[in-house]
Structure formats: C-alpha cells, structure tokens
C-alpha cells in the first residue's frame, strides 16, 4: 500500500483520488475550495481544505512523508508551477504534474517535476485502443472543457472528404475514428470520404465545438 497526496479536486483530481483509494491506497485529498473537499471527504482516507501555494500548508499535512504527490490544481501554469516547486523543496515525495499544454509541461519539467502527464491525450490513446478492440464508447468526458463523442454523420457530410470539410479548421475537432458497419478506421487521413449517413464519427474536441457539430 502506498500513500498519495492529491492536490486539486477538479474532475481529474477527484477521479484519481477516488480510484487510488478504491484500490486500497491511502489518499489525502486537498483543495482550496471547501465544497470540493466536502464532496470527496467520505471517499478518501483524508480530505483537507488548504492552499498548497503556501509551503507551510504542505509542511503542516506532512507532504514530505508521502510516496507521491499529484499536482492537479490550477488551470494556469503559475499555480501548478508554484505548488510543484514547493513540493520539490521539501525533498520528499515523487511529484507528478498535470499539464494543459507543451509550454506548461516544459515549465513543470524545468522546476523538477518527476513526471508530467496530459490526461486528455492519454485518455484519447486509451480510447483508440478500445476502439480497435471493438469496444465503442458513445461519450467520454476528458475534462471540464474537452470530450470524446461518437455520433452519426451529418447528412451534409456524405460524399465529402475530411479535407473538403476542413473539419479541424472549421469545426476545431479531431476525427479519431470512423465506424462503418463492422469496419473501424482509426485516424482516417484527409482523403477519407464519408460514404453513408450510417457512418459514425468518433471525434475529440472542446465541448462547445462538439455542441456546434450536434446542431449541424
């Protein structure tokens, strides 16, 4: 059994804390917002309200004694960078940082994060593997802003290629796969032509852009 410190209880942090605890590990979950801490309090070992940007707060919860600390807090680079730096200065746990961009990732790596993760990208790769095995998901929420959905093809797209439709530029979506009856095409190229209204799209993008597609 290992003990984990999870800092930041958004969707990712909360799900991670719950899963680690469900697998028998000790988890201390921390967030600056009281309501987030309350929501997860009965599903983890310990849950505390605290601002991990303050080194004294981290010292107070014994952060240096954990096997691993996951920095899932802060949509901005500054917040997660400061928390990561505070943890590294404790000379304690392995530090895992959640990044939202390559710039974010490079900053965390520069200040000493032992591992930087991109949950959205890793989830997309996992989904692709499941699609190849024939296990189709209709919807999966990657974060507050991004999702992967499977949906039927808009009628106006029939007979057109991905390049013609200019999907990435016009819709700001990435086509991960296309299902046609019992055939699955993973990462179709720009010359891929949609042939039937029965073709099913699996796309990745912002929720707002996916909603635009739903209205197409």
Give domain limits for the chain: 3-117, 121-214
In this predicted structure, the answer to whether residue 135 has a pLDDT above a threshold of 90 is no
pLDDT at residue 132, rounded to an integer: 54
In this predicted structure, the answer to whether residue 137 has a pLDDT above a threshold of 50 is no
CATH of domain 3-117: 3.40.50.720
Question: pTM of the entire structure?
Answer: 0.61
Q: Residue 58 corresponds to which tokens in the numbers above?
A: 């981290």
In this predicted structure, the answer to whether residue 130 has a pLDDT above a threshold of 80 is no
Could you tell me which of 112, 136, 133, 132 has the C-alpha nearest to residue 185? 132
Assign domain 121-214 to its CATH architecture.
2-Layer Sandwich (3.30)
Instruction: Give yes or no for a contact between 153 and 110, defined as CB atoms under 8 angstroms apart.
Output: no
Strands, sheet with 146-152, edge to edge from the N-terminal-most edge strand: 139-141, 146-152, 200-206, 173-180, 183-186
In this predicted structure, the answer to whether residue 88 has a pLDDT above a threshold of 50 is yes
Q: Indicate the DSSP class of residue 9.
A: -
Could you tell me which of 71, 93, 90 has the C-alpha nearest to residue 81? 71
Percent of the chain having pLDDT more than 90? 52
Percent of the chain having pLDDT more than 70? 88
Could you tell me which of 210, 143, 132, 213 has the C-alpha nearest to residue 177? 132
Residue 133's pLDDT band (boundaries 50, 70, 90)? very low
pLDDT at residue 79, rounded to an integer: 93
What 3-state class would DSSP assign to 164? helix
Residue 136's pLDDT band (boundaries 50, 70, 90)? very low
In this predicted structure, the answer to whether residue 196 has a pLDDT above a threshold of 80 is yes
């Amino acid at each position: 059994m290992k003990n984990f410190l999870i800092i930041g209880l958004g969707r990712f942090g909360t799900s991670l804390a719950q899963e680690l605890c469900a697998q028998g590990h000790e988890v201390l979950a921390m967030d600056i917002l009281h309501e987030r801490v309350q929501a997860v309090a009965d599903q983890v070992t310990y849950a505390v309200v605290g601002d991990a940007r303050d080194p004294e707060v981290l010292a107070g919860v014994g952060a240096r004694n954990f096997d691993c600390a996951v920095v899932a807090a802060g949509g901005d680079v500054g917040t997660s960078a400061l928390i990561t730096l505070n943890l590294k200065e404790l000379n304690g746990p392995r530090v895992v940082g959640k990044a939202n961009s390559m710039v974010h990732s490079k900053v965390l790596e520069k200040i000493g994060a032992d591992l930087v993760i991109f949950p959205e990208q890793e989830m997309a790769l996992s989904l692709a593997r499941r699609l190849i095995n024939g296990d189709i998901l209709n919807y999966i929420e990657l974060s507050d802003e991004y999702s992967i959905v499977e949906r039927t093809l808009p009628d106006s797209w029939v007979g057109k290629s991905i390049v013609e439709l200019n999907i990435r530029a016009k819709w700001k979506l990435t086509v991960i796969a296309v299902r046609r009856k019992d055939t699955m095409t993973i990462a179709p190229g720009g010359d891929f032509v949609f042939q039937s209204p029965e073709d099913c799209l699996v796309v990745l993008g912002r929720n707002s852009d996916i909603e635009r597609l739903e209205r197409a």
